[in-house]
Amino acid sequence: MKPARILFVCLGNICRSPLAEGVLRALAARKGLASMISVDSAGTGAWHIGDPPDRRSIEVARRHGIDISGLRGRKVDKPDFEAYDLILGMDGENVRALRQMAPAELSAKVHLFMAYASGRDQDVPDPYYDGPEAFERLYQMLEAGCSSLLERLDERAS
């Protein structure tokens, strides 16, 4: 079976979506499911193109044994809607922006991450203006969501 191609999207592509990318990749590797997915991340905004993730996301990932320091920010682009099977926005605003950009016939690929992963209609809140404790909460939420997402993809594959 071909890997599910997953694109995580947030606003800046420096806090939430690169962390989600690192967490999903690490969980898949730990569960022996690395070949089931290919994963990337992008932002709806252009402020952080070429930038590494926010140091607070790098740090919380590192504390959990994951290295995301090599990732670099990019903006979502039209070809992404062809290139990925699932385009998962971190919050409702990201999902709205993605649906506006998406070619009509491909907009069904766009979902709210937590809703798709675990059936919970819940945003992953933007932690950019919050303190370091928000990044541990972010990590826990992304780990739970990515774990549910892998279960869902694994069920689909079997």
Q: What are phi and psi of 88, to 5 degrees?
A: -110, 110
DSSP H or E stretch at residue 111: strand 110-112
Comparing CB distances to ligand 4NP, the nearer of 123 and 151 is 123
| Cα separations in angstroms, 35 against 3, 22, 93, 132 | 6, 15, 31, 33
Task: State in angstroms the smallest separation of the CB of 67 from ligand 4NP.
Answer: 18
Structure token digits, residue 39: 């994963």
C-alpha–C-alpha distance, residues 116 and 44, integer Å? 19
Residue nearest to ligand 4NP (CB): 12
Q: Does 16 bind ligand 4NP (CB under 6 A)?
A: yes
Applying CB under 6 A, among 21, 40, 126, 143 the residue interacting with ligand 4NP is 126
The site that binds ligand 4NP (CB under 6 A) totals a number of residues, namely 10
Applying CB under 6 A, among 7, 15, 66, 112 the residue interacting with ligand 4NP is 15
First to last CA, the chain: 10
Structure token digits, residue 133: 């404790």
List the x/- string, 23-62, binding to ligand 4NP by CB under 6 A.
------------------------x---------------
- Catalytic residue numbers? 10, 16, 126
- Residues lying near ligand 4NP in the complex (CB under 6 A) are found at 10-16, 47, 126, 128
